[in-house]
Structure 1
Amino acid sequence: MSFKVPRGTQDILPGKVELWQYVEEKARDLCRRYNYKEIRTPMFEQTELFMRGVGDTTDIVQKEMYTFEDRGGRSLTLRPEGTASVVRSYVENKLFGNPIQPTKLYYIGPMFRYERPQSGRMRQFVQFGVEALGSADPTIDAEVIALVMELYRELGLDNLKLVINSLGDTESRNAHREALVNHFKPRIDEFCSDCQSRLAKNPLRILDCKVDRDHELMSNAPAILDYLNEESIVYFEKVKTLLDDMNITFVVDPNLVRGLDYYNNTAFEIMIDGDGFGSITTLCGGGRYNGLVQEIGGPETPGIGFGLSIERLLMALEVQNISLPLKETLDCYVISMGDEAKLAATNLTFKLRQAGLSCDQDYLDKKMKAQMKAADRFEATFVAIIGENELEKNTVVVKEMATGEQEEIPVLELTNYLQKKLN
């Protein structure tokens, strides 16, 4: 019987995993500069958390979650996104009581959604996201957007389009909700069953429907921007002014609603323009969720965040032919000739690794020529050669692969020699 990787998942092999490590390290460094701290939450949670946190009218909850019962009969779900878990942890661990506020967190980890696998979209995918909890200041909205735009910029991506919208506060959303119901209700039987159920539960989600997006009522549906109260208008204008001040270009799209129920006020998406990326061009999405903490049992707490797929980010880099500056070379490859020399080479390799150098040796008893070829395949900067003569003199022959220059030095001096040469 042969086994294959499950549909919608992938093996990330050496040669590719270095790209992931580079991007993840870039994200971690950026969060360090913005003073966001890492949080790690379980890969599965109580199902009710996502039903309440993500929203039971969303496609994620209705169609895409991996849900199962454990041996105690409890319903658990593999996390489909990161925000609900972070907020649950924020409430459970009473992070709102910390003297330093807002609480600024980030996460990088696997998420799970049962959807049709396609280019850049997997059933298991890795999401990077940030959450800022405890501030209702539009400054932090702009900061969150600036952070993710800076990540893309530092990785070399261009042809990006930042789209923003305001979903308004509770008063504005209620007014817009009433207008949407009045707009769609007379002809709701022409829409899909999902939209028909959304009319009563969350009519804003109708605007995000993929099935009925070409229906004529979609094009002239009431826009949220027409129902913003004065407070929401002022808030949105401040966010736009802050983005302008940071020279972050954006487009306002009144039809941007996002796919999760917990958003209000600022919502945004980052899309990639250009050929070769397929029909789904969104790289990142996020927004403000001022009622989510209360929904999960915490105190009234404003929040904002975003999430992005590492898979789609790497796909964008590939489409734009961007090569990341990866260091894939080996500092030193130790070559030995003879059994006694191999014992010495093993000890020497260990010492070099202890000193912080990347180092390897032969484990297949290859001839001298084959070991040199192996060093070349590893793109080793230096080789250190030990044979009978070197053992007798307690020396090693060091060869710089790029120039071919070599010299014989005492074994005890090898570490310092290589460190000076490599720095």
Structure 2
Amino acid sequence: MTSPTPPSTAENPWPVRTLSFKLADWIHRLGQVWVEGQLTQINARPGTRTAFLTLRDTAAEMSLSVTCDPDLLRRSEVPLTEGSRVVVCGRPDFYTGRGTLSLRVTDIRPVGLGQLLARIQRVRELLAAEGLFDTRRKQALPFLPHTVGLISGRGSAAQRDIVAVAGQRWESVRFRVEDSVVQGPAAVPSIIERLDVLDADPQVEVIIIARGGGSVEDLLPFSDETLLRAVAACRTPVVSAIGHEPDSPLLDLVADVRAATPTDAAKHVVPDVTAEMAGLEALRQRSARALRNWVHREERLVDGLRARPVLARPTTMIDDHERTVERLRADIRRSVTHRLDVETHRHEQYAARLATLGPAQTLARGYAVVQRVDTDHPHAVSSVDDLPPGARVRIRVADGSANAHVDPAADEQGEPS
């Protein structure tokens, strides 16, 4: 039984061999593991007993050295080439002599199309359960973006189509193009890096991720879970323009807008200036026509109101009342005149009767009025008893009066002298 190794200190450091042995011991404890990745380098020289491969992670910039028997590569049912996606079974091994780590593989299985589709389906179900495909979380595209971000392959046909179609639709459109790897194990980290750059640019208002068509294996990076989560976390609206109409990577479900082709993406993002101007002209004509119709309708309404008698002749009611007042005034005037005539006639009758019965008419017929004037209160004499001898009287006749005295020698009948 070996004695335990004392802890390392500055005074008692471990030699390199001790650390190497300890690393090898810990790594060997991991045992046999299954690992999935993509072959990026295959070195199997004829006559050698060991083949050297590089297995790269499909979603990160990480790789691992792999060694295997060359017969494993030759016996594979599907030819293994650089870019093939595989699942390997092996045991990690640390070579103490060189201080390197490798994976000694005893089984290599190519990942078939059915397996790839099954894994894509599992990712689809996982992200759907998390709500990343929910339409309520999708952002609307700006009507006229200031700058359009474009992630595509360098000099690709998809890039040229988008820029050309967008320029035809709106000459002033600006693009910030970020060239990226769009196929293979380096595609996902490359696209995510460019996506972060465009999303951080305040001038970029919409981002297009574009690539031409390809096989399911070629489009696998656009169904990668890491890329999908990065797109879902973007604050800038993202348009997916991957492949052609039949192609449907999961990026189409996570992106805010799915375009059938790169050309269709340009049409979604950039409005057609000719069509927009025609639409504005049509709206202007419609608004002018609607305004004219409204004015004509209001004019007819006003004309109808003005044609009403009360507005055509506003004084009609006043005229009616004025005629009524004039009629009443005439009636009152006629009544008053009639009353005056009646009263005048009655007055004349009373005056005639009064004149007939008055003293003047009596005097005109030869009568006289004798008034005694020698008293304090002159008064008419109605009895001879009021005419004592010597009394002074005034005798009034029709055409005047005369003074007289009562003669004491009057006859016995009492007549004055």
Normalising TM by the smaller chain, what interval?
under 0.3
Larger Rg: 2
Higher relative contact order (CA 8 A, sep 6+): 1
With normalisation by structure 1, the TM-score equals: 0.21
TM-score, scaled to structure 2: 0.22
